[in-house]
Protein backbone atom coordinates (compact mmCIF):
# COMPACT_ATOMS: atom_id res chain seq x y z
CA UNK A 1 0.00 0.00 0.00
CA UNK A 2 1.26 3.45 -0.83
CA UNK A 3 1.47 6.25 1.71
CA UNK A 4 -1.28 8.51 0.26
CA UNK A 5 -4.03 6.73 2.20
CA UNK A 6 -2.04 6.80 5.44
CA UNK A 7 -1.02 10.42 4.91
CA UNK A 8 -4.65 11.44 4.42
CA UNK A 9 -5.68 9.62 7.61
CA UNK A 10 -2.91 11.37 9.55
CA UNK A 11 -3.96 14.76 8.17
CA UNK A 12 -7.58 14.20 9.18
CA UNK A 13 -6.57 13.01 12.65
CA UNK A 14 -4.34 16.02 13.21
CA UNK A 15 -7.01 18.38 11.87
CA UNK A 16 -9.38 16.94 14.46
CA UNK A 17 -6.78 17.61 17.16
CA UNK A 18 -6.49 13.93 18.10
CA UNK A 19 -3.49 11.87 19.07
CA UNK A 20 -3.16 8.36 17.66
CA UNK A 21 -4.27 6.96 21.02
CA UNK A 22 -7.32 9.23 21.17
CA UNK A 23 -8.37 8.20 17.66
CA UNK A 24 -7.76 4.56 18.55
CA UNK A 25 -10.04 4.92 21.58
CA UNK A 26 -12.80 6.49 19.51
CA UNK A 27 -12.53 3.91 16.72
CA UNK A 28 -12.12 0.94 19.12
CA UNK A 29 -8.74 0.03 17.64
CA UNK A 30 -5.17 -0.16 18.92
CA UNK A 31 -2.79 2.78 18.67
CA UNK A 32 -0.22 0.60 16.92
CA UNK A 33 -2.75 -0.28 14.20
CA UNK A 34 -3.41 3.43 13.61
CA UNK A 35 0.35 4.04 13.43
CA UNK A 36 0.86 1.24 10.89
CA UNK A 37 -1.98 2.54 8.68
CA UNK A 38 -0.62 6.09 8.79
CA UNK A 39 2.86 4.80 8.04
CA UNK A 40 1.63 2.94 4.95
CA UNK A 41 2.59 -0.43 6.39
CA UNK A 42 -0.91 -1.83 6.74
CA UNK A 43 -4.34 -1.49 5.19
CA UNK A 44 -7.45 -1.41 7.40
CA UNK A 45 -10.34 -3.77 6.93
CA UNK A 46 -13.51 -2.18 5.59
CA UNK A 47 -15.00 -2.44 9.08
CA UNK A 48 -12.01 -0.62 10.60
CA UNK A 49 -12.14 2.03 7.87
CA UNK A 50 -15.83 2.64 8.62
CA UNK A 51 -15.07 3.05 12.32
CA UNK A 52 -12.33 5.54 11.49
CA UNK A 53 -14.76 7.47 9.29
CA UNK A 54 -17.26 7.65 12.15
CA UNK A 55 -14.58 8.66 14.66
CA UNK A 56 -13.30 11.44 12.39
CA UNK A 57 -16.61 12.50 10.90
CA UNK A 58 -15.34 11.92 7.35
CA UNK A 59 -18.50 10.32 5.97
CA UNK A 60 -17.48 7.17 4.11
CA UNK A 61 -14.26 8.46 2.56
CA UNK A 62 -11.85 6.05 4.27
CA UNK A 63 -14.14 3.07 3.65
CA UNK A 64 -14.80 4.03 0.01
CA UNK A 65 -11.19 4.61 -0.98
CA UNK A 66 -9.50 1.56 0.43
CA UNK A 67 -6.55 0.85 -1.92
CA UNK A 68 -7.91 -2.42 -3.26
CA UNK A 69 -10.77 -3.31 -5.53
CA UNK A 70 -10.11 -7.01 -6.13
CA UNK A 71 -13.47 -8.72 -5.56
CA UNK A 72 -11.75 -12.11 -5.43
CA UNK A 73 -10.39 -11.21 -2.00
CA UNK A 74 -12.73 -10.88 0.98
CA UNK A 75 -12.64 -7.42 2.54
CA UNK A 76 -11.71 -8.90 5.91
CA UNK A 77 -8.78 -10.85 4.42
CA UNK A 78 -7.14 -8.07 2.39
CA UNK A 79 -5.17 -6.62 5.36
CA UNK A 80 -3.81 -10.10 6.10
CA UNK A 81 -2.91 -10.65 2.44
CA UNK A 82 -0.89 -7.44 2.44
CA UNK A 83 0.99 -8.56 5.56
CA UNK A 84 1.52 -12.05 4.14
CA UNK A 85 3.43 -10.56 1.23
CA UNK A 86 5.74 -8.64 3.61
CA UNK A 87 6.39 -11.33 6.21
CA UNK A 88 9.79 -12.93 6.74
CA UNK A 89 8.27 -15.75 8.80
CA UNK A 90 4.77 -17.24 8.69
CA UNK A 91 3.28 -19.89 10.93
CA UNK A 92 -0.02 -21.31 9.74
CA UNK A 93 -2.59 -23.42 11.55
CA UNK A 94 -5.67 -25.00 9.98
CA UNK A 95 -8.13 -27.62 11.17
CA UNK A 96 -10.61 -27.82 8.26
CA UNK A 97 -8.81 -26.91 5.03
CA UNK A 98 -5.21 -26.75 3.88
CA UNK A 99 -4.22 -23.05 4.19
CA UNK A 100 -4.92 -21.07 1.01
CA UNK A 101 -1.29 -20.19 0.38
CA UNK A 102 -0.46 -23.92 0.17
CA UNK A 103 -3.39 -25.12 -1.93
CA UNK A 104 -2.95 -26.81 -5.29
CA UNK A 105 -5.04 -25.53 -8.18
CA UNK A 106 -7.53 -28.39 -8.13
CA UNK A 107 -7.88 -28.31 -4.34
CA UNK A 108 -8.41 -24.53 -4.41
CA UNK A 109 -11.04 -24.92 -7.13
CA UNK A 110 -12.90 -27.48 -5.02
CA UNK A 111 -12.83 -25.26 -1.91
CA UNK A 112 -13.95 -22.18 -3.85
CA UNK A 113 -16.62 -24.21 -5.64
CA UNK A 114 -18.22 -25.06 -2.30
CA UNK A 115 -18.77 -21.38 -1.43
CA UNK A 116 -22.23 -19.94 -0.90
CA UNK A 117 -23.76 -18.22 -2.73
CA UNK A 118 -22.47 -20.25 -5.68
CA UNK A 119 -19.98 -18.69 -8.10
CA UNK A 120 -19.99 -18.94 -11.87
CA UNK A 121 -17.20 -20.83 -13.60
CA UNK A 122 -15.58 -17.53 -14.61
CA UNK A 123 -15.75 -16.23 -11.05
CA UNK A 124 -14.20 -19.44 -9.74
CA UNK A 125 -11.40 -19.14 -12.28
CA UNK A 126 -10.58 -15.62 -11.09
CA UNK A 127 -10.62 -16.67 -7.43
CA UNK A 128 -8.32 -19.62 -8.16
CA UNK A 129 -5.84 -17.37 -9.97
CA UNK A 130 -5.81 -14.96 -7.02
CA UNK A 131 -5.15 -17.79 -4.59
CA UNK A 132 -2.32 -19.20 -6.69
CA UNK A 133 -0.80 -15.72 -7.01
CA UNK A 134 -0.52 -15.58 -3.22
CA UNK A 135 1.54 -18.75 -3.27
CA UNK A 136 4.24 -17.13 -5.40
CA UNK A 137 5.93 -15.89 -2.23
CA UNK A 138 7.10 -19.50 -1.88
CA UNK A 139 9.08 -19.15 -5.11
CA UNK A 140 11.81 -17.56 -2.99
CA UNK A 141 13.82 -20.51 -1.65
CA UNK A 142 14.31 -18.99 1.80
CA UNK A 143 11.89 -16.19 2.70
CA UNK A 144 9.39 -16.32 4.21
CA UNK A 145 10.31 -19.13 6.57
CA UNK A 146 7.08 -21.11 6.92
CA UNK A 147 5.78 -23.50 9.56
CA UNK A 148 2.52 -25.35 8.98
CA UNK A 149 0.49 -26.94 11.74
CA UNK A 150 -2.38 -29.08 10.44
CA UNK A 151 -5.12 -30.97 12.17
CA UNK A 152 -5.28 -34.52 10.82
CA UNK A 153 -8.93 -33.86 9.91
CA UNK A 154 -7.83 -31.34 7.26
CA UNK A 155 -5.91 -34.15 5.53
CA UNK A 156 -8.61 -36.79 5.80
CA UNK A 157 -11.68 -34.78 4.80
CA UNK A 158 -12.27 -35.58 1.08
CA UNK A 159 -12.23 -32.17 -0.60
CA UNK A 160 -12.96 -32.48 -4.31
CA UNK A 161 -12.07 -36.12 -4.86
CA UNK A 162 -9.63 -38.71 -3.50
CA UNK A 163 -7.28 -37.85 -6.37
CA UNK A 164 -7.43 -34.13 -5.53
CA UNK A 165 -6.68 -34.89 -1.88
CA UNK A 166 -3.77 -37.19 -2.68
CA UNK A 167 -2.30 -34.57 -5.00
CA UNK A 168 -2.67 -31.86 -2.34
CA UNK A 169 -1.07 -33.92 0.41
CA UNK A 170 1.81 -35.00 -1.81
CA UNK A 171 2.42 -31.34 -2.66
CA UNK A 172 2.74 -30.59 1.06
CA UNK A 173 5.08 -33.54 1.45
CA UNK A 174 7.23 -32.31 -1.44
CA UNK A 175 7.50 -28.79 0.03
CA UNK A 176 8.41 -30.28 3.41
CA UNK A 177 10.98 -32.75 2.08
CA UNK A 178 12.88 -30.00 0.26
CA UNK A 179 12.83 -27.88 3.44
CA UNK A 180 10.71 -25.09 1.97
CA UNK A 181 8.15 -25.49 4.74
CA UNK A 182 8.10 -27.37 8.02
CA UNK A 183 4.92 -29.36 8.58
CA UNK A 184 3.55 -30.90 11.76
CA UNK A 185 0.28 -32.80 12.07
CA UNK A 186 -1.91 -32.91 15.16
CA UNK A 187 -3.30 -36.42 15.40
CA UNK A 188 -7.03 -36.95 15.86
CA UNK A 189 -6.16 -38.86 19.01
CA UNK A 190 -5.09 -35.62 20.71
CA UNK A 191 -8.67 -34.46 21.24
CA UNK A 192 -9.04 -30.81 22.16
CA UNK A 193 -6.16 -28.32 22.11
CA UNK A 194 -5.72 -24.50 22.30
CA UNK A 195 -6.24 -23.71 18.57
CA UNK A 196 -9.18 -25.93 17.75
CA UNK A 197 -11.63 -23.01 17.59
CA UNK A 198 -10.41 -21.56 14.29
CA UNK A 199 -7.75 -20.87 11.68
CA UNK A 200 -4.67 -18.84 12.66
CA UNK A 201 -1.71 -17.21 10.92
CA UNK A 202 1.24 -15.72 12.79
CA UNK A 203 3.54 -13.34 10.93
CA UNK A 204 6.89 -11.73 11.69
CA UNK A 205 8.51 -8.83 9.79
CA UNK A 206 11.88 -7.14 9.41
CA UNK A 207 10.72 -3.61 10.25
CA UNK A 208 7.56 -3.88 12.34
CA UNK A 209 6.14 -5.87 15.26
CA UNK A 210 4.64 -9.32 14.68
CA UNK A 211 0.96 -9.68 13.84
CA UNK A 212 -1.64 -12.43 13.80
CA UNK A 213 -4.69 -13.19 11.70
CA UNK A 214 -7.59 -15.36 12.82
CA UNK A 215 -10.55 -16.48 10.72
CA UNK A 216 -13.96 -18.05 11.18
CA UNK A 217 -17.04 -18.38 8.98
CA UNK A 218 -17.11 -15.28 6.71
CA UNK A 219 -15.12 -13.35 9.29
CA UNK A 220 -11.45 -12.61 9.78
CA UNK A 221 -9.33 -10.09 11.64
CA UNK A 222 -5.73 -8.94 11.87
CA UNK A 223 -4.49 -8.63 15.44
CA UNK A 224 -1.60 -6.31 16.28
CA UNK A 225 -2.13 -5.77 20.01
CA UNK A 226 1.22 -6.95 21.45
CA UNK A 227 -0.43 -8.76 24.35
CA UNK A 228 -3.00 -10.55 22.18
CA UNK A 229 -0.35 -11.52 19.60
CA UNK A 230 1.77 -12.98 22.41
CA UNK A 231 -1.22 -14.98 23.64
CA UNK A 232 -1.89 -16.36 20.16
CA UNK A 233 1.78 -17.21 19.74
CA UNK A 234 1.65 -19.08 23.04
CA UNK A 235 -1.44 -21.00 21.94
CA UNK A 236 0.35 -21.98 18.74
CA UNK A 237 3.37 -23.18 20.73
CA UNK A 238 1.17 -25.26 23.03
CA UNK A 239 -0.62 -26.84 20.06
CA UNK A 240 2.71 -27.49 18.34
CA UNK A 241 3.78 -29.36 21.45
CA UNK A 242 0.82 -31.71 20.93
CA UNK A 243 1.71 -32.32 17.27
CA UNK A 244 3.68 -35.21 15.82
CA UNK A 245 7.42 -34.68 15.13
CA UNK A 246 8.38 -33.85 11.57
CA UNK A 247 9.28 -37.38 10.44
CA UNK A 248 6.19 -38.89 12.01
CA UNK A 249 4.06 -36.16 10.44
CA UNK A 250 5.49 -36.95 7.01
CA UNK A 251 4.89 -40.65 7.53
CA UNK A 252 1.25 -40.03 8.48
CA UNK A 253 0.78 -37.72 5.49
CA UNK A 254 2.12 -40.40 3.14
CA UNK A 255 -0.23 -42.98 4.66
CA UNK A 256 -3.25 -40.69 4.30
CA UNK A 257 -2.30 -39.83 0.70
CA UNK A 258 -2.09 -43.57 -0.11
CA UNK A 259 -5.50 -44.13 1.50
CA UNK A 260 -7.03 -41.45 -0.70
CA UNK A 261 -5.39 -42.98 -3.76
CA UNK A 262 -6.85 -46.38 -2.93
CA UNK A 263 -10.34 -44.88 -3.03
CA UNK A 264 -9.97 -43.48 -6.57
Residues whose CB is less than 8 angstroms from the CB of residue 250 and which lie 6 or more positions away in sequence, other chains included? 173, 176, 177, 183
- Higher-pLDDT residue of 113 and 239 is 239
Evaluate whether 102 touches 150 at the Cβ level (below 8 Å). Answer: no
Could you report the per-residue pLDDT of 165-198, keeping only the tens digit for each? 999 999 999 999 999 999 999 999 999 999 998 8
Residues 6+ apart with CB under 8 A from 223: 211, 212, 213, 214, 229, 232
pLDDT for position 2: 45
- DSSP conformation letters of 191-202: ---TTTTSEEEE
Confidence of residue 67 (pLDDT cuts 50, 70, 90): low
Mean of pLDDT values over 144-163: 96
List the one residue out of 147, 171, 131 whose CA is nearest residue 260.
Answer: 171
Q: Which helix (H) or strand (E) holds 94?
A: strand 89-94
pLDDT digits (tens, 9 = 90+) for 23-49: 999 999 888 888 878 887 677 777 888
Q: What CA–CA distances, in Å, run from 79 to 84, 128, 222, 241?
A: 9, 19, 7, 29
Amino acid sequence: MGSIYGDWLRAQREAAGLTQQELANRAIMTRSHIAHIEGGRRIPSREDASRLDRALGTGDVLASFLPQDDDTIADYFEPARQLEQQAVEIREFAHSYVPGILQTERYARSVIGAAFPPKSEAERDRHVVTRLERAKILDDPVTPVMWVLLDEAALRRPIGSPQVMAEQIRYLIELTERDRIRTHVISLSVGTYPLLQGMLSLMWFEDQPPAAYSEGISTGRVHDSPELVRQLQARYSLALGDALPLRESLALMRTIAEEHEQHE
